[in-house]
Structure 1
Amino acid sequence: MSVMDKLKQMLKGHEDQAGKGIDKSGDMLDERTQGKYSSQVDTAQDKLNEQLRRDQDQPPQP
């Protein structure tokens, strides 16, 4: 079992909290870097949220 599979199992049922964590951590990173990498952080947040939604829509794998 890969690390991603383990993470997906751990997040199952807690997608809302994971999404909030992604947003909060990105905002904290923006604050600590004084917005220097804001566009890269926003892109990473978008991709992580997209992956989270995509995994939520797929049926569980046996």
Structure 2
Amino acid sequence: MGLLDNVKSKLSPAKDKVSHLAQKHEDKIQHGLDRTAHAVDKKTKGKYSDRIQSGTGKAKHAMDRLAHKDDDGGSMSPPPAGGATPPPPAS
């Protein structure tokens, strides 16, 4: 057994636990990502809005893949529509 196979076998229980927790708390995680993105965008006064939206969308997609890995066999599917964080309301 190679080193990589050994590491994968040892980390498998942790990955399963994280996947279970991601499924259980998916709505809270999504809400936390949105709140964090909004707070960072507000602190940077909108200067990095595009990058914040992009990063938030990627984080949501990764979390969604982890939470629903059993649904599609773990394949890399495109992110769901509307995965990016909407821009904050103008002040």
TM-score band, normalised by the shorter chain? 0.7 to 0.9
Counterparts of 2:55 and 2:34, CA distance in 1? 10
Larger CA Rg, structure 1 vs 2: 2
> Separation in 2 of the partners of 1:53 and 1:42?
16
- Report 1 or 2 for greater relative contact order, CA contacts < 8 Å, sequence distance ≥ 6: 1
TM-score (norm 2): 0.54
What is the CA–CA distance in structure 2 between the aligned matches of 1:49 and 1:27, rounded to whole Å?
A: 14
Counting aligned pairs with the same residue, the percent is 25
Q: Distance in 2 between matches of 1:12 and 1:57?
A: 7
Corresponding residue for residue 55 of structure 1: 66
Please give the root-mean-square deviation of Cα atoms over the aligned residues, in Å: 2.0
Q: Is the 8 A contact 2:22 2:63 kept in 1?
A: no
Structure 1 length as normaliser, TM-score?
A: 0.76
Q: Which runs of 4+ in 1 moved over 2 A?
A: 5-12
Aligned residues: 57
Question: Could you say which residue in structure 2 is the equivalent of 1:41?
Answer: 52
